[in-house]
């Protein structure tokens, strides 16, 4: 494993442009359950069943109970060594973009600046009728489901299944995947599209693609290097090879 880590460190050292895709696994060591972890209060539901406009229309209270539970978990969480290592790698890389599927805001909390939150942020909520969004960090929420002053339902300002991503964010993410020399995919099952296409696009455009995950995923056969392990352990090791003179 150490030689694999050194090899990725060398690639990053030589790179002018780096793109990173993160998923729920990068926040697992901060105590935030991933979507497909065994156990967890919501295991009886699939995100594809709850994180949808139809589910919200059918039972806004249930969907909000799930988000309020996650907001409470996230409020207690801190960035872990994986988040901090990525913030450090950004500082020593000329062109860097961190594309995250996570809505927990922990990358920014760790100091990452060039962050693209593809699926939004759990601390923003939006009026169903007016479309206006505002930050709300009330934990727990007093009213479920919360309502706008105009009387309409408020919803999490995130991208649900069946909803389009912001075209700007999507274009920025794919441009970074096409242009980068090195692409890291960290803590994602590479199950959800269009994010899951990014490592493949990077590979097809000549990037060196490395995956950090304790288990193989459906894109493992496609990557140049699969570093099997926890992001909070592997990323600091990659960083130390990068900063070693
Ligand atoms: C759209 C909301 C079009 C906020 C989320 C192409 C093919 C197939 C399907 C589709 C396709 N294109 C579109 C689809 C449909 C759909 C989709 O992908 N469905 C899936 C079920 C197949 N996609 C969409 O609907 C997207 N919209 O395409 O719109 C359109 C265009 C015009 C008009 C209308 C529509 C929208 C997708 C966004 C959905 N919203 N989140 C929220 O509540 O979070 S997705 C949600 O689930 C997360 O944001 C995240 O993206 C995803 C979970 O994935 P992961 O992050 O990877 O987490 P997971 O638990 O799966 O895996 C964790 C990994 O970490 C594991 O591998 C584990 O081993 C690893 N791990 C664990 N511990 C650690 C670790 N790794 C490292 N270190 C550790 N310590």
Q: 120: pLDDT confidence band, cut at 50, 70 and 90?
A: very high
Distance 101 CA to ligand 1 centre (A): 7
Residue 181 CA to ligand 1 center (angstroms) comes to 24
d(CA 189, CA 35): 10
| Coil vs helix vs strand at 22 | strand
Q: Is 205 a catalytic residue?
A: no
- Choice between 18 and 50, residue whose per-residue pLDDT is larger: 18
Q: Is 162 in the pocket of ligand 1 (CB under 6 A)?
A: yes
Question: For residue range 193-243, what is the model confidence (pLDDT) as tens digits?
Answer: 999 999 999 999 999 999 999 999 999 999 999 999 999 999 999 999 988
**CA–CA distance from 222 to each of 22, 72, 193, 194, 198 (Å)?**
17, 37, 16, 17, 12
**Residue 28 DSSP SS3:** helix
Q: Which among 119, 193, 205, 226 is annotated as catalytic?
A: 119
Nearest C-alpha to atom 73 of ligand 1 is from which residue?
25
Per-residue pLDDT of 11-28, as tens digits, reads 999 999 999 999 999 999
Closest Cα to atom 22 of ligand 1: 192
Which of 185, 191, 199 lies closest to 227 in space, CA to CA?
Answer: 185
> In this predicted model, what pLDDT tens digit does every residue of 65-74 receive, in sequence order?
999 999 999 9
Kindly give the pairing relationship between strand 115-117 and strand 208-213.
Answer: unpaired
Shortest-distance atom of ligand 1 to CA 196:
18
Mean pLDDT of 39-56: 80
């Amino acid at each position: 494993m150490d030689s694999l880590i050194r090899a990725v460190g060398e690639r990053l050292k030589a790179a002018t442009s780096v793109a990173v895709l993160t998923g729920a696994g990068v926040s697992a060591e901060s105590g935030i359950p991933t979507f497909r972890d065994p156990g967890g209060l919501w295991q009886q539901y699939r995100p594809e069943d709850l994180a949808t406009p139809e589910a919200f229309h059918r039972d806004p209270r249930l969907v909000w109970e799930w988000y309020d539970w996650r907001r409470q978990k996230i409020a207690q969480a801190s960035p872990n060594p994986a988040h901090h290592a990525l913030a450090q790698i950004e500082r020593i890389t000329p062109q860097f973009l961190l594309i995250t599927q996570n809505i927990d805001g922990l990358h920014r909390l760790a100091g990452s600046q060039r962050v693209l939150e593809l699926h939004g942020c759990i601390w923003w909520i939006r009026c169903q009728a007016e479309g206006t969004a505002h930050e709300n960090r009330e934990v727990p929420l007093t009213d479920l489901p919360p309502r706008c002053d105009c009387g309409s339902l408020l919803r999490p300002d995130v991208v649900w299944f069946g909803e389009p991503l912001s075209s700007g964010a999507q274009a920025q993410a794919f441009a970074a995947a096409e242009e980068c020399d090195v692409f890291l995919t960290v803590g994602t099952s590479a199950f959800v599209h269009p994010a899951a296409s990014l490592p493949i696009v990077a590979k097809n455009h000549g990037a060196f693609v490395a995956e950090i995950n304790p288990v193989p995923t459906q894109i493992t056969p496609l990557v140049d290097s699969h570093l099997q392990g926890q992001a909070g352990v592997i990323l600091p090791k990659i960083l130390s090879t990068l900063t070693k003179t």
